[in-house]
Amino acid sequence: MEFINVLVAAAVGFGVGAVWYGVLSKPWMEVSGVEVGADGKPANNANPMPYIMGFLAMVLVAGMMRHVFELSDIETMGKGLVSGFGIGLFLAAPWLMICYGFAGRPSKLLLIDGGYAALGSAAIGLILTAF
């Protein structure tokens, strides 16, 4: 049953990303350097691999968060939400900060991608503790 919770949490985290990047697609494309096609969408939009890899990454994140939550006795939705947000904001986003800093990437990209890490992790934490 826990595996199903992990899959649902991963799907919700992935869905948060779809909404987040849907809303912030224009500024993200401007600062990410992704190649844009004539239709104004990313050139690799039809390639399924980024979506497959993205979902697999969400499964890994949700699975590890479930493990940490179990070991830390995080059982309420409030604790799951706050703990997930903390994981995204204080673990994932700083890691992006290091990578983006050395790569010379724009701060705006860090805010967009780091924001998704924080909100996506919060959503995963909420779902993991909802069942």
Parse the chain into domains and list their residue ranges: 2-33+46-128
The more confident residue out of 131 and 122 is 122
Percent residues over pLDDT 90 in the chain: 90
pLDDT at 112: 99
49 contacts: CB under 8 Å, gap ≥ 6: none
pLDDT at 43: 86
pLDDT digit string, tens, across residues 34-76: 999 888 888 888 899 999 999 999 999 999 999 999 999 999 9
Kindly give the residue spans of alpha helices, DSSP state H, lying in 24-106: 25-32, 49-72, 77-87, 93-103
Full-model pTM: 0.94
CB-count exposure of residue 131 (10 Å: 0-12, 13-18, 19+): exposed
pLDDT at 41: 87
